[in-house]
Structure 1
């Protein structure tokens, strides 16, 4: 079963190829739909709150995060701590599965905090991405739009900046290992293998530099980008989007075609038992089948997040 977070709530479809989908959560714009290994159910971050469903999307509970606009969520790999990142850029933690919350104020103490703002987002920033790896459950990785990448080694209490060498407009950080991350940014795609101490830019020589999210499955790294930011996607040149695949952790990329290319930008990824699936800003869901990308179905609003449950 596929859950799609869109510009207009969460929708549910059966299988990667579907003729129709039903809306199961009317919560406005959805930022992420995620599930975690040690946690029951699925979480949806939206501009109206953080929601959880434990019955496949039939019903949802608002978990009452202190700030309404929730951009990111992380269920800790040890199954104990639930994190929520918001707009403006604050981070909250719950030790009781969302019954109560407290702020992790250490994020506010970072030296660069006063520079986290952009006119595009009301001269503020948000915690756009949260991640952790099971081999280092207390290490939390936060991506700030706009503010860079930052790492905590004590469950989010104290933080260290890891923003040197990576673009500060961070949309997503793919945590591939305890020290191995891929950051998708408004100004490039970056990789670190030392928990952000150093970064390598992976998109040198590529004309498409506006990356939204990367995804890894069975040894292949997937990434998608547009030539510029969303304000240009409806202009004369359109999005001029591209989808890339790499078999060597991003050292080299192959550009591949997909339904909707180049007008539609891939914004979201997930995988079922046999396919990698992607969603575009125009509501199209595509999936990898027999070495090609084929269309699975269409939704009535742009797809910002996908989750297979």
Structure 2
């Protein structure tokens, strides 16, 4: 199976073949904010043809949601009657996720903060109510545009098809245990300025959060959270990826603050590990001199888990990098990409 890497930028989507370095541009001049790779379409009997290509979803800030059913070769706008000026929803799609239990179920987040659900693979969507009725909603605000806020990330629970985690930038982590019927606002210990969330199928009760106010994790499906900051010298955490082969190993990108991450350019990579013993608890180590530029002159990286144990991808203004050993070493992919920070990263294959 060929690997394809999808890189979202503010002027379009790049589809990268990491073996050859070839780069194809899609959705030119669209501000692509978020990405999702989902399995190919099922037949009416529920089976998935062996030749079915991955579905690729791209949420844009200026033109709603786009979907490819041929692995990213072509894209069409979907759900335009609901998302965008032609319908009742906003243009800005800022988060998208699919259920691991039923890939035709897709959740979509927007700016301003709303959540939508599709049960037919994105053809149609319907609003999921109640998100902005939680007590903290009046406090939500995105500093660069303080009169609004958005759903920055949506993550499904690997163990429960009805349980979803929604990160609002900035203001709250909100959890629904019942498919959007009810919402739990700001669970104990959760972060406020959530940038990315992650789960792992081998540890289905665990959830990880990368946020502007640090890194936190839950071991009870998001009911309670604890901050993990041992060894993490930079508390503005942006990207996150979990080792496909080990839920104890997590890579994050981090900086001292938003200015260093996005404007000045001084960001780092860290690896979370279990620690030397059970008493010490998990801790971070900074990944300097591992083959990927970090520190002064680099902007925060977006990260994505690969398909093999130890495989994680990282993308920032200095290029696209891959590690096959969970961060011990990185190799640069010889692909020509924009020399600026990317908005999102996703890895798939066909």
Shift of 1:99: 2.9
**Per-residue deviation, 1:143:** 0.6
- Is the 2:40–2:69 Cα contact (8 Å) retained in structure 1? no
Contiguous gaps of at least 5 residues in structure 1 = none
The Cα of 1:80 is off from its aligned counterpart by 4.3
2:147 pairs with 1:147? no
Tell me the distance in 1 between the aligned counterparts of 2:222 and 2:134: 15
Number of matched pairs: 304
The 5 Å alignment of 1:225-264 reads 225-230=254-259, 233-235=262-264, 238-239=265-266, 241-248=267-274, 251-257=282-288, 258-262=291-295, 263-264=297-298
Residue 278 (structure 1) aligned with residue 304 (structure 2): no
Report which stretch shifted further, 21-30 or 59-68. 21-30
Tell me which structure has the larger Cα radius of gyration. Answer: 2
Correspondence for 2:331: 294
| TM-score using structure 1 length | 0.89
SS in 2 for 1:108: helix
Alignment of 1:209-220 (within 5 A): 209-217=235-243, 218-219=245-246, 220=249
Name the CA shift for 1:232/1:288 in 2 (closer, same or farther; >3 Å). Answer: closer
User: What is aligned with 2:208?
Assistant: 182
Q: Which residues in structure 2 correspond to 1:192-211 (within 5 Å)?
A: 192-211=218-237
Distance 2:174 2:204 in 1: 14
Structure 2 unmatched runs, 5+: 42-53, 84-88, 276-280
Encode CA deviations 1:164-211: one digit per residue, 9 max, x unaligned: 323311111112344311111011001111233322111245321111
Retained in 2: the 8 A contact 1:268–1:304? no
User: What is the deviation of 1:41?
Assistant: 0.7
Deviation for aligned residue 1:131: 0.9
Asked whether the 8 Å contact 1:132–1:178 carries over to 2, the reply is: no
In structure 2, distance between residues paired with 1:252 and 1:205:
6
Note if 1:98 corresponds to 2:118. no
Answer yes or no: is the 8 Å Cα contact 2:241–2:312 preserved in 1: no
TM-score (norm 2): 0.79
Matched, 1:55 2:55: no
Superposition RMSD in Å: 2.3
Q: Contact 1:268/1:303 (CA < 8 Å) preserved in 2?
A: no
CA distance in 1, matches of 2:284, 2:318: 26
- In terms of fraction of residues, the more strand-rich structure is 1
After TM superposition, the structure 1 = structure 2 runs for residues 99-178 of structure 1, keeping only pairs within 5 Å, are: 99-176=123-200, 177-178=203-204
TM-aligned CA deviation for residue 148 of structure 1: 1.4
Please give the alpha-carbon distance, in whole angstroms, between the structure 2 residues aligned to 1:205 and 1:75: 33
Q: 1:6 to 1:266 in 2, by over 3 A?
A: same
